[in-house]
Structure 1
Amino acid sequence: MIDTEELVGRYVAVWNEPDAESRRKAVAELWTEDGVQILQPPREIRETAAALGLTPVLEARGHEALDVRVTRSYDEFVAPGKFFFRPRNNADRLADIVKFTWEMVPTGGGEPAGVGLEILVLDEDGRIRTDYQFIEG
């Protein structure tokens, strides 16, 4: 039986992890080997693509690509000491689907600078097979 809150806690923690080797290990433990994160592109990319008659999808597949994705986010938002990520207390699970929202919060306090919705599809071992990420603000 998967503890949903524990899974969400580990998921959010990987985005705040300062140690590269610990991040790689956490990615391998959280996602299946061929796991994928599918990210809703920022509005400006969606608008540009729509003007071309396209629907953009940003995707990181496999442990190596996922590690690059997590590290890039860490380097941009957490490493400079400006922000950290935290889950909101709204995780829920239905069969093999977990949904929750997270916040990117200024380290000095204040209102969240960003909010995202995660929808995770788990395999039979409780590892993430597909991770859909929607940036909400």
Structure 2
Amino acid sequence: MSDFDTVVDRYLAVWNETDAAARRAAIDSVFAENVRYTDPLAAVAGRDALSVLIGGVHQQFPGLKFAPGGLIDGHHDQIRFTWTLGPAAGFDVAELDAQGRITNVLGFLDRV
């Protein structure tokens, strides 16, 4: 498993964490303090806002879990990967800081 695979596994684990306190602790270890997340439905900045966004996804799609969609590709400090959430699918591009934490995510929805 590459470092990129590990980052994606940890990223998806954050999105799948339903306990708010555990999710926030995971966010603190996976994401930089000033993380930015943007997809067609949301744009947030900071760890607190990201945690609230993820909590909202759990309310909107109860019981569904994010899973890797297959492709994980990266170079330098950038990763692109696909994911599924029930029948939905998409891909994200994430940028990492020098400590390997995610600083920016650009999300795309392929199948909603």
**The two structures share one fold, judged by TM-score above 0.5:** yes
The match for 2:84 is: 103
The match for 1:109 is: none
The match for 2:67 is: 86
Number of aligned residue pairs: 110
Pair member with larger Rg: 1
More strand by percentage: 2
- Matches for 1:44-123 after TM superposition, within 5 Å: 58-77=42-61, 80-81=62-63, 83-105=64-86, 113-123=87-97
Q: Distance in 2 between matches of 1:95 and 1:23?
A: 27
Secondary structure of 1:90's aligned partner: strand
The match for 1:26 is: 26
**Normalized against structure 1, the TM-score is what?**
0.75
Secondary structure of 1:89's aligned partner: strand
The residue type paired with residue 62 of structure 1 is: G
Q: Distance in 2 between matches of 1:18 and 1:65?
A: 16
Q: Distance in 2 between matches of 1:68 and 1:102?
A: 20
Displacement after TM superposition at 1:18 (Å): 2.0
Q: Distance in 2 between matches of 1:136 and 1:90?
A: 14
Contact 2:94–2:104 (Cα < 8 Å) also in 1 = yes
The residue type paired with residue 73 of structure 1 is: V
What is the CA deviation profile of residues 36-88 of structure 1, one whole-angstrom value per residue up to 9, with x for unaligned ones?
A: 001124xxxxxxxxxxxxxxxx31100110111111112221xx33x211012
Runs of 4+ in 1 over 2 A off after TM superposition: none
The match for 1:13 is: 13
Q: Distance in 2 between matches of 1:68 and 1:126?
A: 23
Percent same amino acid at aligned positions?
33
